[in-house]
């Protein structure tokens, strides 16, 4: 526990806060390119946040204090989640306080508060969104947990930074079980971050929306926090993916500032590739009907369980 | 020896006080003031005292004693050890909150008189307490039956209503099937010595076959009380029928008594469980957990929803218990201790959170007169105390960090995760696959709880009459605060709780989950693995982030807040009926888990002038097992009824034939 680890910890959280909207902007940019549109500015999400923070808030008369507290709770749990995920260095002081299971728990906290807040105003779309969000969540959460379990079994710990460190420092990094879980994880990522094929982040078409339906009644600073939190969530998921499946390049062990500096461009490179990959997936797939979403997620869940089984069978 | 020197006698004094309080209720049966102002608050204090004694005695060596009451020449053996202490703490601490709530809850009205209710309630408490210290089959069965009967009368407090009498009948019937199995199990365990003290059972040498029979009977008997599949049918009927404090006591405490029974029999009386026994509770537990939570999602009555959620939690408890047996039998003692700690921790958590939720529904029921979720909504504005305190219970039972439900789930998942060293290859592969089921059940519990809370407390009131709803009374609030505080503390201080439970696991398995010394908040249960959890730190980080964000946003952007009607995509004629109903919110679950349910739908045609949509969801097990069984019993009874001819001469003939037969057999 020295100054470097604390610096790494703070740096990672700040980097996540700063880079999350940028990553979202990058995904949108790639999407626009792939769809033959002129791309919006990479900085558009920042402009959006600034605009929202500078507005008067409009709150429904029917809303309770829970509605106003929820954006802060959702944002807070996403930031806390960012503190557990090893995006640059693996020696994080916060690691021992919360492991990967607690990370899944933090995502669940955000989801539950988001859904409760959507039900709070008592509108038709809010409750519909809450129901669908919870439907996606209850299948995505165990799938994510199973993905993490496989990696935990391989590395004999549930602390995410240690998992990343062990996977990164091992001589052979090829595990058949991780191949299954990587597919499952990608599916969970798409579903949990309201991407195509489960949800469409660019639409407000009433009957198909999930995530946007939850945010309908929010405005100004509350909406800004919610938007920022969902950008953070996407960033967090991407970094979990890196930690589990491409852990190379993070500063492992008692690495000093140089290693940490080296890991920054690596992370940026990974994010650039991941964003482009996400845009490709979203472009080549069509949105599913809402009732096909459980099948999609059940597939993800079963793939993750299959990964677990493969690990137990082959021991790898 | 004075009373206070011995923990055991202190416990017995508290139990005697509960009995005395109960009988005081009879002095003036109709007087609500005596019951509410004096008796129930005193009983809550007794609960606190019991919890304090149990907390002290959990680390102390076991004490035994002899009670010369009841039948001549048949004294009752009592014993207070770590296992009893853990469950006595559960009983005392959660019943303190429930009793103080009950002081504000019971009103005059139809049904049992308050004084009589007070007697039944305290008889129930004292019976559960005595059961936990009983050290022979005689005392245990007397307490077991007293518990079943007193709770039967409590369930049927509103005995004027036929469906409540029916629920009570079902309850008492399954309770007795269970009691028979428990009795037979004791009969097997005495092992030919015909001594029914627990000491004799501990030293009895049973062949593996007989030991298995004893375990199976105990599992059936205690499983019936706990609501394990397929003996769960009484639970969703009896819990909603009872007054809310009684539902809380039954769900929060009585179900745990059944878990205590299995623990006592398996780890203490039988001693050396075979490893494969554990697979049965694991399998049944996983099935029960999934079944319970899926059915909870489909419910429209708030107390039935909670009852099904209790079934889910019982499933989780039995899963952990089975894991502990497997580990213990396979000589993996540290892991057995971990799984057992998860079970005990979850039992304690569930006692607090489920009692809190049941009492919350009780307050709602009093304020609105409604149990149907379809007629509630928006109560957070009218009953802020109840709503916010219930939110604590909801978040806890949904297994969200940093509250208590998460800790026990975390411990259970950890023990599943490292279950891969069981000597049997096939089982070794199969066992970790229980983890996805536990994870799925936990995630579904979150769905159920969002539904429960969102439909009752959030949104707009679905009925105009809800505008007159009032918040809970002061005593009721006190009870809710007590239980909510319990949920928070159990969540934030896992090291202290696990250390205390270590006494129990070292009594049962010879091992305790290692914990850091002092006031550390870092829980690291497996020394050879790097796994740890520190909820206090987690909470501090979240609170710090929220505070910094809030202050930054407030200082940097001083923009106004306007209150307007909800937007809802610009739809102007929004009314409360456009919100999701309980049926609507449960629809995705009914759709996805269609094969679990037997569903009957009545859909309106497009031309109906007054369209009605009705969906009835019922239990397949009831239709496949209980209904035919009931039919067979009825038919047998009908054919036996032929014997009853109503003529004295026939009956004399029966006596004569019996006599002749007996003589023939005798010769």
pLDDT by residue (tens digit) across B22-56?
A: 888 888 877 778 888 888 899 999 999 999 999 99
| Interchain CB contact of B433 with A (< 8 Å) | yes
- pLDDT at B4 > cutoff 70: no
| Range among A123-127, A292-296, B249-253, B510-514 with highest mean pLDDT value | B249-253
The whole-number average pLDDT for the span A231-258 is: 86
Tell me, what's the pLDDT at A77? 93
For residue B611, being part of any structural domain is answered with yes
Is residue A46 packed enough to be buried (19+ CB in 10 Å), middle (13-18) or exposed (0-12)?
A: middle
Domain that holds residue A102: 3-314
Residues near A39 by beta carbon (within 8 Å), at least 6 away in sequence:
A28, A29, A32, A33
- Averaged pLDDT of chain B: 88
Cis ω before B402 (30° cut-off from 0): yes
- pLDDT at B84 > cutoff 90: yes
Tell me, what's the pLDDT at B2? 45
Taking only residues 401 to 420 of chain B, the set having a beta carbon closer than 8 angstroms to any beta carbon of chain A reads 401, 406, 410, 413-414, 417, 420
Minimal CA–CA distance to B440: which of A73, A139, A212?
A: A139
For residue B307, being part of any structural domain is answered with no
The whole-number average pLDDT for the span A5-11 is: 85
For residue B404, being part of any structural domain is answered with no
Residues near B433 by beta carbon (within 8 Å), at least 6 away in sequence:
A305, A308, A309
- pLDDT at B1 > cutoff 70: no
- pLDDT at B481 > cutoff 90: yes
| Rounded percentage of chain B residues whose pLDDT exceeds 70 | 98
Number of H helices and E strands in chain B, helices first, is 27, 5
CA distance B131 to chain A (A): 37
Helices (H), B593-646: 620-621, 627-640
Q: How many folded domains does chain B comprise?
A: 1
For residue B425, being part of any structural domain is answered with no
For residue B656, being part of any structural domain is answered with yes
Tell me, what's the pLDDT at B109? 63
| Interchain CB contact of B13 with A (< 8 Å) | no
Domain that holds residue B648: 593-666
Q: CA nearest B524 in A: which residue?
A: A96
Among B303-307, B425-429, B582-586, which is the least confidently predicted range? B425-429
- pLDDT at B309 > cutoff 60: yes
E strands, chain A, are: 57-60
Q: Select the more confidently predicted residue: B322 or B567.
A: B322
Q: How many folded domains does chain A comprise?
A: 1
Per the CB < 8 Å rule, is A127 touching B580?
Answer: yes
Residues of B in contact with A58 (CB under 8 A): 561-562, 564, 567
pLDDT confidence bin for B478, thresholds 50/70/90: very high
Tell me, what's the pLDDT at A1? 52
For residue B623, being part of any structural domain is answered with yes
For residue B600, being part of any structural domain is answered with yes
| Interchain CB contact of B243 with A (< 8 Å) | no
- pLDDT at B572 > cutoff 80: no
Tell me, what's the pLDDT at B392? 95
- Averaged pLDDT of chain A: 88
Q: Select the more confidently predicted residue: B349 or A87.
A: B349
pLDDT confidence bin for A253, thresholds 50/70/90: confident
Per the CB < 8 Å rule, is B546 touching A98?
Answer: no
d(CA B125, CA B144): 11
pLDDT confidence bin for B110, thresholds 50/70/90: low
Tell me, what's the pLDDT at A232? 94
The whole-number average pLDDT for the span B607-616 is: 82
- pLDDT at A20 > cutoff 90: yes
Q: What pTM, to 2 d.p., does this model score?
A: 0.93
Per the CB < 8 Å rule, is B459 touching A128?
Answer: no
pLDDT confidence bin for B147, thresholds 50/70/90: very high
Tell me, what's the pLDDT at B3? 47
Contact predicate B185/B159, CB 8 Å: no
Q: How far is CA A251 from CA A88, A166, A189, A261, in A?
A: 6, 12, 25, 9
pLDDT confidence bin for A82, thresholds 50/70/90: very high
The whole-number average pLDDT for the span B359-376 is: 89
For residue B647, being part of any structural domain is answered with yes
Q: Which residues pair with B79 in a beta bridge?
A: B64
List the single residue in B414, B538, B580 with the smallest CB-CB distance to A131: B580
| Interchain CB contact of A110 with B (< 8 Å) | no
pLDDT confidence bin for B450, thresholds 50/70/90: very high
| Interchain CB contact of B599 with A (< 8 Å) | no
pLDDT in tens, A200-244: 877 767 677 888 888 888 988 899 999 999 999 999 999 999 988
């Amino acid at each position: 526990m020295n100054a470097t680890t604390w610096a790494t910890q703070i740096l990672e959280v700040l980097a996540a806060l700063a880079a999350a909207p940028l990553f979202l902007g990058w995904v949108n940019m790639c999407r626009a390119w792939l769809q033959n549109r002129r791309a919006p500015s990479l900085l558009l999400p920042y402009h959006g946040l600034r605009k929202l923070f500078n507005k008067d808030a409009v709150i429904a008369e029917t809303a309770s204090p829970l509605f106003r507290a929820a954006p802060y709770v959702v944002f807070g749990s996403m930031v806390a989640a960012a503190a557990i995920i090893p995006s640059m260095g693996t020696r994080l002081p916060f690691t021992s306080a919360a492991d990967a299971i607690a990370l899944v728990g933090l995502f669940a906290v955000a989801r539950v508060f988001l859904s409760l807040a959507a039900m709070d105003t008592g509108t038709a779309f809010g409750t519909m969104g809450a129901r669908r969000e919870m439907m996606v969540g209850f299948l995505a959460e165990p799938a994510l947990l199973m993905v993490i379990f496989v990696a935990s079994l391989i590395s004999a710990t549930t602390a995410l930074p240690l998992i990343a460190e062990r996977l990164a420092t091992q001589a052979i990094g090829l595990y058949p079980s991780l191949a299954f879980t990587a597919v499952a994880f990608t599916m969970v990522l798409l579903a949990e971050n309201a991407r195509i094929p489960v949800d469409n982040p660019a639409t407000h078409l009433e009957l198909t929306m999930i995530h946007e339906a939850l945010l309908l009644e929010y405005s100004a600073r509350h909406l800004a926090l919610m938007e920022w939190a969902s950008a953070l969530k996407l960033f967090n998921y991407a970094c979990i993916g890196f930690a589990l499946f491409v852990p190379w390049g993070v500063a492992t062990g008692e690495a000093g500032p140089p290693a940490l500096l080296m890991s920054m461009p690596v992370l940026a490179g990974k994010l650039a590739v991941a964003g482009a990959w996400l845009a490709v997936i979203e472009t080549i797939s069509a949105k599913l009907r809402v009732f096909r979403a459980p099948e999609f997620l059940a597939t993800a869940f079963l793939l993750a369980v299959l990964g677990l089984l493969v690990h137990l069978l082959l021991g790898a | 020896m004075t009373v206070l020197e011995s923990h055991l006698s202190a416990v017995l004094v508290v139990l005697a006080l509960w009995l005395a309080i109960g009988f005081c209720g009879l002095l003036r049966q109709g007087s609500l003031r005596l019951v509410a102002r004096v008796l129930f608050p005193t009983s809550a204090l007794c609960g606190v005292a019991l919890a304090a004694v149990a907390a002290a005695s959990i680390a102390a060596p076991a004490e035994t004693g002899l009670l010369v009451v009841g039948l001549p020449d048949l004294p009752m053996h009592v014993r207070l050890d770590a296992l009893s202490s853990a469950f006595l703490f559960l009983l005392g601490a959660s019943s303190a909150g429930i009793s103080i709530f009950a002081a504000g809850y019971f009103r005059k009205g139809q049904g049992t008189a308050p004084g009589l209710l007070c007697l039944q309630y305290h008889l129930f408490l004292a019976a559960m307490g005595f059961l936990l210290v009983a050290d022979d089959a005689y005392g245990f069965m007397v307490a077991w039956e007293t518990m079943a009967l007193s709770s039967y009368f409590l369930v049927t407090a509103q005995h004027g209503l036929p469906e409540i009498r029916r629920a009570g009948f079902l309850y008492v019937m399954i309770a007795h099937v269970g009691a028979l199995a428990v009795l037979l199990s004791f009969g097997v365990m005495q092992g030919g010595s015909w001594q029914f003290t627990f000491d004799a059972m501990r030293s009895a040498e049973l062949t593996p076959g007989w030991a298995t029979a004893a375990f199976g009977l105990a599992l059936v008997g205690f499983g019936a009380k706990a609501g394990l599949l397929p003996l769960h049918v009484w639970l969703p009927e009896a819990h909603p029928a009872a007054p809310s404090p009684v539902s809380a006591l039954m769900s929060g405490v009585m179900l745990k008594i059944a878990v205590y029974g299995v623990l006592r029999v398996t780890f203490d009386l039988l001693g050396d469980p075979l490893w494969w026994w554990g697979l049965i509770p694991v399998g049944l537990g996983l099935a029960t957990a999934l079944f319970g939570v899926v059915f909870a999602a489909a419910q429209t009555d708030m107390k039935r929803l909670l009852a099904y959620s209790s079934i889910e939690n019982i499933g989780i408890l039995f899963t952990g218990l089975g894991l502990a047996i497997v580990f213990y039998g396979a000589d993996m003692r540290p892991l057995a201790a971990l799984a057992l700690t998860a079970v005990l921790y979850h039992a304690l958590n569930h006692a607090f959170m489920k009692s809190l939720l049941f009492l919350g529904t009780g307050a709602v029921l009093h304020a609105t007169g409604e149990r149907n979720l379809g007629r509630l909504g928006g109560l957070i504005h009218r009953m802020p105390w109840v709503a916010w305190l219930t939110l604590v219970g909801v978040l806890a039972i949904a297994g969200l960090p940093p509250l208590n439900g998460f800790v026990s789930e975390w411990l259970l998942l950890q023990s599943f995760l490292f279950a891969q060293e069981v000597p049997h290859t096939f089982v070794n592969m199969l066992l970790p696959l229980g983890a996805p089921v536990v994870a799925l059940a936990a995630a579904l519990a979150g769905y159920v709880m969002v539904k429960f809370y969102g439909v009752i407390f959030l949104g707009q009131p679905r009925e105009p009459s809800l505008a007159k709803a009032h918040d809970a009374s002061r005593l009721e609030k006190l009870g809710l605060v007590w239980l909510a505080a319990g949920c928070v503390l159990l969540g934030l201080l896992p090291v202290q709780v696990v250390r205390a439970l270590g006494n129990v696991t070292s009594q049962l398995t010879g091992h305790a989950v290692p914990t850091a010394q002092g006031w550390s908040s870092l829980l690291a249960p497996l020394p050879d693995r790097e796994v740890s959890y520190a909820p206090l730190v987690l909470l501090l980080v979240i609170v710090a982030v929220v505070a910094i964000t809030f202050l930054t946003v407030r200082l940097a952007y001083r923009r106004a807040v306007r209150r307007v009607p909800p937007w809802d995509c610009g739809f102007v004629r929004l009314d409360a009926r456009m919100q999701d109903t309980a049926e609507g919110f449960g629809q995705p679950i009914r759709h996805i888990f269609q094969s679990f349910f037997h569903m009957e739908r009545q859909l309106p045609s497009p031309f109906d002038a007054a369209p009605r949509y009705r969906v009835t969801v019922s239990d397949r097990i009831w239709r496949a097992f209980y209904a035919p069984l009931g039919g067979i019993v009825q038919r047998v009874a009908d054919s036996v009824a032929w014997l009853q001819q109503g003529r004295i001469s026939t009956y004399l003939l029966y006596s004569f034939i019996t006599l002749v037969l007996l003589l023939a057999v005798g010769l």
